A and B are shown apart, each in its own frame.
Chain A
Amino acid sequence: DQQVKQNSPSLSVQEGRISILNCDYTNSMFDYFLWYKKYPAEGPTFLISISSIKDKNEDGRFTVFLNKSAKHLSLHIVPSQPGDSAVYFCAARNNAGNMLTFGGGTRLMVKP
């Protein structure tokens, strides 16, 4: 079963506008959530994270929101830039070590 889901395989946004990437999870034991950006044939690059005791974390243009009751998190990128075009993965971790469970990814395309 897919414990972490990213239901939108792709998203297209105009430069300067907001990009919103969504992620849903089912496992209540997850206590830490991370977003990664990935280019083909490269390793994921860490973007931002959030603990389950918070509902928002902000870092520059990136903000992650967590809604625990809905088991939903989202990544907001404002303003979006063409260099943000990549595949974005959300990942979740429980307290039994550092194992990450990944969503299937969302390909973001930011058009100039």
Chain B
Amino acid sequence: KAGVTQTPRYLIKTRGQQVTLSCSPISGHRSVSWYQQTPGQGLQFLFEYFSETQRNKGNFPGRFSGRQFSNSRSEMNVSTLELGDSALYLCASSFDRPGTEAFFGQGTRLTVV
């Protein structure tokens, strides 16, 4: 059974550019969440998508957005990149029922220069 797949694994962008990251969840998982990990802030929740609808949103500026497609694949977009956006971006997928675990992908390492 394939795990959560995130692409690309590494990305270098320039300040002011925008970036799109992709996440393919485990087959059958309809909930996809995104997290940002930085040395100073730890693992922080960005947003969750379920059935193509954003269900929860973390405390991030509007430059961070996402979407989910009918096959449950998800993308997140960051516009007008800032140096502080450099981080490991993680995607997690899960079934949508109580008592189920979230499984993470390998992450995308974004470096903004």
Binding site for B on A (CB under 8 A): 31-32, 34, 36, 41-46, 49, 51, 89, 91, 95-105
Contact = CB atoms under 8 A, between A and B. Distances in A.
For chain B, the bracket of interface size reads 20 to 34
Interface of B: 4, 6, 31, 33, 35, 42-45, 48, 50, 55-56, 58, 88, 90, 92, 94, 96, 98-99, 101-107, 109
A34 B109 contact: no
B76 to A, nearest CB: 15
B98 A32 contact: yes
Contacts of B92: 43, 98, 100
B105 A43 contact: yes
Contact of A105 (B42, B48, B102, B107): B42
A101 B33 CA distance: 12
B43 to A, nearest CB: 4
